[in-house]
Amino acid sequence: MPELPEVETVVRGIRAQLEGRQVQAAHYTWANTLHSPSPEQLTARIVGQRFERIYRRAKYIVCALDQDLLVIHLRMTGRLYVCANDAENEADRWLRFWVQLDNQQQLRFSDSRKFGRVWLVNDLTQATGQLGVEPLSDDFDAATFYAQLRTRPKMIKPLLLEQGFVVGIGNIYADEALHRAQIHPMRAANTLTEDEAHRLHATIRAALTDGIARQGASIGWYRTAEGSKGEMQDHFFAYDRTGEPCYTCGTPIVKMWVAQRGTHYCPTCQTLESK
DNA sequence: CGGACAACCTGGCGGC
DNA sequence: TGCCGCCAGGTTGTCC
């Protein structure tokens, strides 16, 4: 579900409700949701800690507490929201973990497919491993991007999905960025021209920025922290538009499989030759 | 390193 | 209506 724009939207939605709050207790209903330390240790160690700062790194939600970092990854179907102790939320049906705050409110983590994970660590990399550059930061520059593409013979789409290369891009925004840049998803990365690399650099940023502005894409499970749907799904160029006309040339969008992921592209605008 | 594939899981949807 | 197979926004590990 959630890629960079969806995670960013969730972070913005819970930030004000969490900052300054102190943890009174924590509970879980699915042990595998709590990755490390052990569920018993995590729910004990977090008690008494105060939320100081909430931010996003890649697709991870990071809550800086006064002692540790509470790190959450939504994976496919995770939802994170803050509500009153006695409030009922439609996502509570799949509640896996929750934190009792000191103001009669709770931070709840719901996740129907149980792929989501929670960590309590001192060092962020203990949860995330080594991550690539943030595509919306100044560290992501076109010249470096082009230079790195030159070293990779791998297909461009799965390369964009590698979180150790560039973070935050998932299946939706990979298809959207490649379509906007008019690059075929199966092009070998090291065959992109400088112009193509620069176009892709720009469209990655544009697609992600548009996604944030639209509060993310709600194809299925994703909801904002407030429980509403995003609107980016109504503004896709390629993703989930199989058979519908390309906005540029009218050719029907085709769905194929690339690296075991459904991939949507325009066979006229996105060819295996440079353009 | 690149690529294929299985695992981890549940639920929604289309087809019959 | 009921059942079945397929598909899903992510990540990790194994094998060739």
DSSP A73-92: E-TTTEEEEEEETT---GGG
Q: Which residues of A are catalytic?
A: 2-3, 59, 261
Measured CA A187 to C1' B2 distance, in angstroms: 14
pLDDT of A219 > 90? The answer is: no
pLDDT of A6 > 70? The answer is: yes
Nearest nucleotide over every DNA/RNA strand to the A4 CA, judged by C1': C9
Provide mean pLDDT across the span A29-52. 98
List, for residues A43-86, the tens digit of each pLDDT value.
Answer: 999 999 999 999 999 999 999 999 999 999 999 999 999 999 99
User: Residue A1's pLDDT is what?
Assistant: 62
Instruction: Considering only CA atoms, name the residue closest to the C1' of nucleotide B10.
Output: A113
- State what percent of residues in chain A have pLDDT above 70: 100
Weakest-pLDDT range from A88-97, A132-141, A188-197, A215-224: A215-224
User: Token digits for A54?
Assistant: 């909430």
Nearest nucleotide over every DNA/RNA strand to the A239 CA, judged by C1': C9
Give the long-range contacts of residues A62-70, CB within 8 A, separation 24 or more. A62/A124, A63/A18, A65/A23, A68/A120, A68/A121, A68/A122, A69/A119, A69/A120, A69/A121, A69/A122, A69/A123, A69/A124, A69/A127, A70/A46, A70/A99, A70/A118, A70/A119, A70/A120
Instruction: Considering only CA atoms, name the residue closest to the C1' of nucleotide B5.
Output: A260
Question: Which positions on chain C have an atom < 7 Å from some protein CB?
Answer: 7-12
Nearest nucleotide over every DNA/RNA strand to the A162 CA, judged by C1': C11
User: Token digits for A236?
Assistant: 């896709």
List, for residues A109-147, the tens digit of each pLDDT value.
Answer: 999 999 999 999 999 999 999 999 999 999 999 999 999
Provide mean pLDDT across the span A38-43. 98
Measured CA A168 to C1' C16 distance, in angstroms: 30
Q: Specify the pairing of strand A95-101 against strand A105-111.
A: antiparallel
Provide mean pLDDT across the span A250-264. 96
Measured CA A147 to C1' B10 distance, in angstroms: 42
Nearest nucleotide over every DNA/RNA strand to the A77 CA, judged by C1': C9
User: Residue A255's pLDDT is what?
Assistant: 96
User: CA A90, CA A45: separation in Å to the nearest integer?
Assistant: 29
Average pLDDT, chain A: 97
pLDDT band at A226; cut points 50, 70, 90: very high
Measured CA A207 to C1' C9 distance, in angstroms: 15
Cβ atoms A102, A91 nearer than 8 A: no
Cβ atoms A203, A140 nearer than 8 A: no
Measured CA A240 to C1' B13 distance, in angstroms: 15
- State what percent of residues in chain A have pLDDT above 90: 97
Instruction: Considering only CA atoms, name the residue closest to the C1' of nucleotide B13.
Output: A220
Cβ atoms A204, A142 nearer than 8 A: no
